[in-house]
Amino acid sequence: MSLERTYRRGDDGPAVAEIRAKLRLVGLLTDADDPEPARAAVTASFDEATDRAVRAFQQQRGLPVDGIVGPATYQALDEARWRLGDRILFYVPARLLAGDDVAALQQRLLDMGFDCGRVDGLFGVETDEALRDFQRNTGLVADGTCGPATFKALTRLSRTVTGGRPHDMRDSEAINRAGPTLSDKLVIVDPGRGDEPGAASTSDDLVYDVASRIEGRLSATGCTAFLTRGPEAVGFGALPDAPDVLDVVELVSRPGEVQRAEFANAAGADLLICLQAAVHDNPDASGVATYYYGSDRYGHYSAIGARFAGLVQREICARTDLVDLRTHPMNWDLLRRTRMPAVRIEVGYLTNAGDAARLADPAFRDVLAEAVVAAVQRLYLPPDQDAQTGFLRIPALRG
């Protein structure tokens, strides 16, 4: 079933029964939580036990812990039900298979020395290539289909490689080879949508303004920078002289995280920077936080993404008086589905009077933009050329 609305404590009905059934499958609810199991199979209440289970699941999966089952949490619940061997796995370009069984396959391949990229639970091109390589090396038909024969071979063979993360090492080497100048880099700047988890619904124009300032400053360094949308969130920005990119990506009126990730992937971007203004029920909540791809469940994260997030966070906190809410791994689609290092920056809380006043000031937004661009440059600088946090300025980036 698909989720047509969000569900939270106090709701009931067949959709809640489905949610509870999925929570049972992942071991976060038991029969003891249902006083009337027969009735619960048809309808159920989103009670305190369900709320606790949802929050625990969200914590495990790197999702916002709010106890609300929306599309992202429901999708994660659906993926969690699969175990390796439950279904045939193969590469579908238009709609990648996703689930814990894919993550288990990726981890098994990595353990045996077959580089499938990062463990993200998505059956993409790298997983397909690694699986075919495994099949060739074990005398199987290299068709990229993980069926009974391949499952048997995976079960029979043991771990042969220990230590190291091939994907992270490859990304680190790519950063080192790229050199310090930004003139040959492509950066996608994404003014995030206000209807996404934790974002302010009134923030579209504000985050677009910050994003456009970042885009302008990156362009001043010689970097190629593109925005994913215009000021009114009406679609993707154009990529001049790149019709093949636009052919790959479906242009929609309000592109979601998956479409924006596909946009960045099709463009062959070096980095993706997403901006959001946050909201919270507590008006005292304030500060800046930066997120990168990571999943406690899969035990993997983007090492370069984490490094970039740290640079962004430190630069912003050194140049402003925003409260430091640190960096965090998250499993949002925009971070998970991008093949390049990606971060989401929450630049303050519009529900906090102090943060809102800061963000309303164009001069403050200029400082935010300069901090992000300085972090981009520092990501590519070798240690002997790096600057102290908060001291790198835009003129120093040109060349």
Return the structure tokens found at 179: 């050199």
pTM of the model: 0.78
Summarize pLDDT for 16-28 with one digit per residue, the tens: 999 999 999 999 9
**Alpha helices (runs of H) in 81-223, residue ranges in sequence order:** 100-111, 125-137, 148-156, 166-178, 204-220
CB 29, CB 19: distance < 8 Å:
no
Q: Specify the pLDDT at position 220.
A: 92
Helices (H) and strands (E) in the chain, counts: 16, 7
* Residue range 126-154: mean pLDDT, rounded: 95
> pLDDT band for position 284 (50/70/90)?
very high
CB 255, CB 171: distance < 8 Å:
no
Q: Report DSSP state, residue 122.
A: B
Pick the more confident residue, 172 or 18. 18
* Residue range 366-380: mean pLDDT, rounded: 95
Lowest mean pLDDT segment, chosen from 74-83, 129-138, 194-203:
194-203
Summarize pLDDT for 292-350 with one digit per residue, the tens: 998 766 667 888 999 999 999 999 999 999 999 999 999 888 999 998 999 999 999 99
Secondary structure (3-state) at 194: coil
| Chain mean pLDDT for the chain | 84
> pLDDT band for position 259 (50/70/90)?
confident
Q: Specify the pLDDT at position 149.
A: 95
Percent of the chain with pLDDT over 90: 57
Lowest mean pLDDT segment, chosen from 137-146, 163-172, 203-212, 226-235:
163-172
> pLDDT band for position 364 (50/70/90)?
very high
CB 110, CB 166: distance < 8 Å:
yes
* Residue range 137-153: mean pLDDT, rounded: 95
The one-letter code for the residue type at 205 is D
Q: Domains of the chain (ranges plus CATH)?
A: 14-80 (1.10.101), 100-163 (1.10.101.10), 171-397 (3.40.630.40)
Question: Nearest 5 degrees, angle CA 292-CA 373-CA 220?
Answer: 140
